[in-house]
């Protein structure tokens, strides 16, 4: 199988590529990424891209036709990956996450691919105080990021059809170690705080619900979706990807970290405004459709693994929320240097696309 993974040089990508290489040793794996975070390696001495057969450097808004040639499947991770970036760069977020996603799927289909896997997000549900959100529940995206994911899903549903299965995996919030770790994700932030200065600061009152998924379990779900055909869920499928046990309240996550990392103080902002992102999600459909690719990592294991990873990095930055381990900060630094523009393009975007 020839698989193109876009956005492979971010946080999730290296874990996905590593997993696909392990479980599909004979596949041809290529990557396509614009490389915003290529330099943000964390605790690794070798480049994760070594496990690919080919790396393209380019923008998914203008994918090189050659990158799609003879491809059987696309795993589409490239995009603006959180609310803070989406709010700062709203137009670019819609352009990349919505328009370019649908066009890439169309181009992949026309080039003969049979499968397209899209990294969507449970944030499409917005605020959902009561009950578990299922795929039939009403959506209510609250941010440009969440809206862009939902619009992409709607466009993808139109592109799917006979011989071209499209799967939108509505991922819970990711966590866990990666060769390009992000600390702008709740559990990763807590473990970093605990590890670096024995303090976990909860920026809400701790009560919001948030489903989580480990990056290695995201990779397992993607592996399943790559082989999915229309007889298992239809030509187009949007499915929540995660597990019911991983619906946690923010405070529970902090306590779980404090139970593992010694001498940690947890502080809650009792006066904080309620977090608008509170939702519990049902993963029943995913359980039913993908029984052999269910999440396997436990929360204590995720925390221990992150602590070990931070140790390998020699991490001790108490100001990490303003560091290059935060995606928005990296983009702001690139912009400050005049390397990236407001459309989130390299300033010399018309350079030829490089292939390695
Ligand atoms: N991390 C999470 O909690 C989570 C949860 C749900 C869904 N997702 C989705 O999974 C995907 C990967 O997330 P991540 O955490 O690895 O994000 P990330 O920001 O670490 O990585 C995104 C990658 O996409 C690349 N990229 C961005 N714009 C591009 C463009 N125009 N052309 C080519 N490449 C481009 C970046 O260079 C980066 O390598 C994203 O689409 C994200 O929205 C992530």
Q: Quick one: pLDDT at residue 352? A: 59
Q: Quick one: pLDDT at residue 33? A: 97
CA of 35 to the centre of ligand 1 (A): 11
State the helix-helix crossing angle for 101-110 and 144-159, rounded to 10 degrees. 20
**Ligand 1 atom nearest 145 alpha carbon:** 43
Q: Is the pLDDT of residue 101 over 70?
A: yes
| Mean pLDDT of the region 224-233 | 97
Q: Quick one: pLDDT at residue 269? A: 76
Question: Within 10 Å of residue 142's Cβ, how many Cβ atoms?
Answer: 15
pLDDT tens digits, one per residue of 11-53? 999 999 999 999 999 999 999 999 999 999 999 999 999 999 9
Query: What pairing do the DSSP bridges indicate for beta strands 115-121 and 165-171?
Result: parallel
Residue nearest to ligand 1 atom 27, measured at CA? 79
Local confidence band at 275 (pLDDT 50, 70, 90 cut-offs): low
pLDDT tens digits, one per residue of 236-258? 999 999 999 999 999 999 999 99
Long-range CB contacts (within 8 A, 24+) of 285-290: 285/134, 285/135, 285/239, 285/240, 286/221, 286/239, 286/240, 286/241, 286/242, 287/243, 289/228, 289/232, 289/233, 289/237, 289/239, 290/221, 290/224
Q: Is the pLDDT of residue 98 over 80?
A: yes
pLDDT tens digits, one per residue of 286-315? 999 999 999 999 999 999 999 999 999 999
Which residues' Cβ are closer than 6 Å to ligand 1? 7, 9-13, 33-37, 59-61, 77-79, 81, 96, 119, 121, 171, 173-174, 182, 185, 327
Least confident of 51-60, 141-150, 187-196, 346-355: 346-355
Q: Is the pLDDT of residue 270 over 80?
A: no
Considering only residues 128 and 213, tell me which one the structure prediction assigns the higher pLDDT: 213
Q: Quick one: pLDDT at residue 276? A: 64
Residues sharing a CB contact under 8 Å with residue 257, sequence separation 6 or more, in sequence order:
187, 190, 191, 194, 200, 264, 303
| Mean pLDDT of the region 105-110 | 98
Residue nearest to ligand 1 atom 44, measured at CA? 81
Q: Quick one: pLDDT at residue 356? A: 66
CA of 207 to the centre of ligand 1 (A): 27
Q: Is the pLDDT of residue 350 over 60?
A: no
Local confidence band at 277 (pLDDT 50, 70, 90 cut-offs): confident
């Amino acid at each position: 199988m020839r698989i193109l993974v876009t956005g492979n040089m971010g946080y999730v990508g290296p874990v996905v590529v590593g997993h696909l290489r392990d479980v599909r040793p004979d596949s041809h794996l290529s990557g396509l990424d614009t490389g915003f975070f290529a330099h943000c390696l964390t605790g690794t001495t070798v480049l994760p891209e070594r496990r690919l057969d080919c790396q393209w450097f380019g923008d998914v808004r203008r994918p090189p036709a050659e990158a799609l040639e003879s491809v059987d499947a696309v795993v589409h991770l490239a995009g603006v990956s959180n609310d803070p970036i989406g709010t700062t760069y709203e137009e670019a977020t819609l352009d990349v996450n919505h328009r370019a996603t649908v066009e890439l799927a169309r181009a992949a289909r026309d080039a003969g691919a049979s499968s397209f896997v899209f990294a969507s997000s449970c944030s499409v549900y917005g605020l959902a105080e009561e009950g578990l959100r299922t795929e039939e529940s009403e959506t209510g995206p609250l941010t440009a990021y969440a809206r862009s994911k939902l619009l992409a899903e709607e466009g993808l549903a139109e592109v799917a059809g006979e011989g071209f299965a499209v799967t939108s995996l509505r991922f819970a919030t990711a966590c866990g170690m990666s060769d390009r770790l992000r600390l702008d994700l709740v559990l990763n932030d807590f473990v970093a705080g605990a590890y670096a200065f024995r303090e976990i600061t909860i920026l809400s009152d701790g009560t919001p619900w948030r489903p989580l998924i480990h990056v290695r379990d995201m990779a397992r779900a993607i592996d399943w979706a790559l082989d999915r055909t229309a007889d298992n869920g239809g030509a187009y499928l949007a499915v929540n990807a995660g597990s019911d046990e991983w619906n946690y309240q923010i405070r529970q996550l902090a306590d779980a970290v404090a139970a593992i990392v010694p001498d940690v103080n947890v502080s809650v902002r009792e006066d904080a405004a309620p977090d608008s992102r509170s939702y519990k999600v049902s993963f029943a459909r995913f359980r039913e459709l993908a029984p052999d690719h269910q999440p396997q990592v436990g929360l204590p294991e995720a925390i221990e693994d992150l602590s070990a990873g931070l140790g390998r990095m020699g991490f001790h930055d108490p100001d990490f929320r303003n560091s290059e381990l935060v995606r928005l900060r990296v983009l702001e630094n690139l912009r400050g240097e005049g390397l990236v523009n407001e459309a989130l393009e390299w300033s010399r975007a018309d350079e030829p696309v490089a292939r390695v």
